[in-house]
Chain A
Amino acid sequence: MSWLSPAMLFLVAWLAIFAQTQFPLVRDFIGTPPGILPALVVYAAFTHGIGTVTSLAVVGGLWLDALSGSRLGVSIGPLFAVGFVLHARQHLLLREQRYAQFWLGFGAGVVAPLATGGLLQLGARQPYFGPTTTFQLIVSGLFNGLACPAAFLLFDRLRSAFEYQAVGPGPFRADREIKRGRT
């Protein structure tokens, strides 16, 4: 069942990217499409191998660019950078606490779109980058900050329900073994 968690991760990413292109009223209200892909990359970085993180960044970035006016491939780099750094430094970061998950999601939700916007500025077509961009980035950060603990909760439950659990050490302790006879 080790394939189930990555499969669910990709399925949720697919649905989340599709949802970004729908619901125009929500989009107008918050001023930006409600995307949670950076939060999913954060979750993948802490719980999966670098292969899954890379695949999610590549596939998610391609899907994201396919449904936008951006140049194809521009979203892959920032998503991968977020996943790569978190995966490489996961032993130094808190991951169990909900507030830590929130701030990691918030950071990813700000950094990934900001880096994408920065890359787009290097191209021929200049995207909008102005005072409301700050607001849009904060909204994106909040969305991902809330989505990140939700992803940990949902996927961890899913894994505990469907995947084999690691067997604990049990009651036997080698240092307490009574050895008879002379040693």
Chain B
Amino acid sequence: MLKRTHYLAALGTVLLLVLVLMNLPGPAAARLKLAAGGFFLPLFGAVAGSQSFVDRASYDILPHSTLVSEMQRLERENAALKLAAAQGADAIAENNRLRTQLGALPRGPWKPRLCRLVARDSSTWWRTALIDYGTRDGAQINQTIVADGGLVGRISAVGYSQSQIAFVGDADCGVSVTVAETRDLGVIKGSQTTTDAGTAELTMLQNCPQVMPGHKVVTSGFGGVFPHGLPVGTILDTRPSAGGLYTGARIRLFANLNRLDEVWVLQP
């Protein structure tokens, strides 16, 4: 009899707890999630500490000649980038002048901030991760994440010292994109056909035979989350949708989501 009472008490407690947790409003649930994730902070710190120790140890054993040649290569690259930045600054100034004449707000330059990926999603269902960038550093929902010259995703939840990011291809990270060569618009939604983190599904392309494998896909700027013109990936293949209403495509992402250790957050 006592055992039966214990079973009923356990069942009732869990049912009540699950009902309460699953019906929490979005912001409260996000805060509670990040608080529960705080239990792992010592482990995240230990991993970061051991990684930096290994990095420092590897710097100590690098030969002098390698360091000098690497420095010379970086100096050359820096000079080339300075030249490109000077040309870019001129184009940005011209663009802002034209935008002002058209009555649109001028675009400010992004302030990129380097962040470390501290944990990947613990389940198989989503493409998310945690980064060591929180509200104390200026984190906000929907800030854009880039890496390896391509779009990675957006910030989907923020905590004090960490934020959750949703990768491109996750159900929580739809992206409006344009095929650069043909100017066709499409949408990258949560993938229902692949778990490969290096690819994503592009849908809602108009039925246009011009879109070919190898074409470049960039953000369109529509939707107000991602800025215009960020490289996303290249078209792998195309196919008509089930109803034949639009064309779907698979794209190979520029950012290798499986190998990310560090990402850039674009702060406005």
Contact = CB atoms under 8 A, between A and B. Distances in A.
Interface stretch (A119-127, A147-155, A157-165): A119-127
Contact of B123 (A24, A28, A33): A33
Nearest to B189: A126
Nearest to A133: B124
B52 interface: no
A107 interface: no
A52 B172 CA distance: 35
Interface in A51-102: 51, 53-54, 57-58, 62-77, 80, 84, 88
A63 B35 CA distance: 10
Interface stretch (B10-18, B202-210, B225-233, B243-251): B10-18
Interface stretch (B37-45, B94-102, B138-146): B37-45
A21 B258 contact: no
Interface string A112-136: 0100110010000111111011001
Interface string B29-41: 1001111110110
Interface residues of B, number: 49
Contacts of A65: 33, 36
Contacts of B222: none
B10 A84 contact: yes
A146 B123 CA distance: 19
A14 interface: yes
Contacts of B166: 69
B191 interface: yes
Nearest to B15: A77
A125 B17 contact: no
Given A69-B123, A70-B125, A132-B195, A18 B43 contact: yes
A65 B84 CA distance: 45
Interface centre among B120, B123, B171, B193 (most CB of A within 10 A): B123
